Structure 1
Amino acid sequence: MNRQNTGRKGENLAAMWLQQHEFVLLERNWKARRKEIDLIACKDHVLHFIEVKTRMGLGFGNPEEQVNGKKLYHLRIAAEEYLTQHPQWRRIQFDVLAILLNGNFNTITFLEDVG
């Protein structure tokens, strides 16, 4: 499976996981000024900007370890643009949904309020 297919599969699994955990999915792959937010969802009146990281194995470490300060900075820039277009949100948070694909057994880790 190539990198693009791995990412797409991970985002699909992430979207399903969020819906199973009572999130309402608002946007997928939302773009602003060459920055992208993988998923935007809400739950309990909180807007969640979610970075999805998917890996096929641990050769490069856990998926969540790939979300660094630079990535969070870009996520915040895009989130600011989203909020100018949707100013009704008062409570927001930045999350990481890490997915490790392993055949029929996938590991999903949800890290809340990381930024």
Structure 2
Amino acid sequence: MAQHNETGKQGEIEAARYLRDKGYEIMTQNYRYQHAEVDLIAKKGKLLVFAEVKTRSNLNYGNPEEFVSYTKAKLVMKAAEQYIFANGWLHDVRFDIIAVTLAGNELRVKHIEDAFS
């Protein structure tokens, strides 16, 4: 597997751990609908969070969260809409970005709530 795929997978593991530590229940990972994918879907009480995880091994080209494009946000929302419909969710939803930096031995997780609003 390519190094960037390994970095991305490690970032998703760290993001899921971070959310669990904050009291969220991970409902699913890598949820796909057509060409859209949501990295993490988590629940806390009556709040369902759709999280896009971006991971970088260095910050030479910018922070991870800067790489979530408008197109990617629309795809996440499309997959979220399908998930909400398929599961009959009737409560609040939120779209977050979890930016993970894995530089050397340093791990940094930045949780951006309501990132697509």
Do both proteins adopt the same fold according to a TM-score greater than 0.5, normalized to the shorter chain? yes
Cα displacement (A) at 1:48: 0.1
Per the alignment, residue 83 of structure 1 pairs with: 84
State whether structure 2 residue 14 is matched by structure 1 residue 22. Answer: no
Give 5+ residue unaligned stretches, structure 1.
Answer: none
What RMSD in Å do the two structures reach over aligned CA positions?
Answer: 1.1
Cα displacement (A) at 1:111: 0.1
Give 5+ residue unaligned stretches, structure 2.
Answer: none
Rounded Cα–Cα distance in structure 2 between residues aligned with 1:89 and 1:110: 24
State whether structure 2 residue 58 is matched by structure 1 residue 64. Answer: no
Tell whether the 8 Å contact from 1:46 to 1:89 is kept in structure 2 after alignment. Answer: no
State whether structure 2 residue 65 is matched by structure 1 residue 47. Answer: no
Cα displacement (A) at 1:99: 0.4
Letter aligned with residue 24 of structure 1: E
> Is the partner of 1:101 in helix, strand or coil?
strand
- Offset from partner CA, 1:6-60 (integer Å, 9 cap, x none): 0000000011111011000000001001211000001131000000000000122
- TM-score of the pair, normalised by structure 1: 0.95
Off by >2 Å, runs of 4+ in structure 1: none
Per the alignment, residue 97 of structure 1 pairs with: 98
Letter aligned with residue 91 of structure 2: R
Per the alignment, residue 75 of structure 2 pairs with: 74
The percentage of counterpart residues that share the same residue type is: 36
- TM-score of the pair, normalised by structure 2: 0.94
State whether structure 2 residue 7 is matched by structure 1 residue 6. Answer: yes
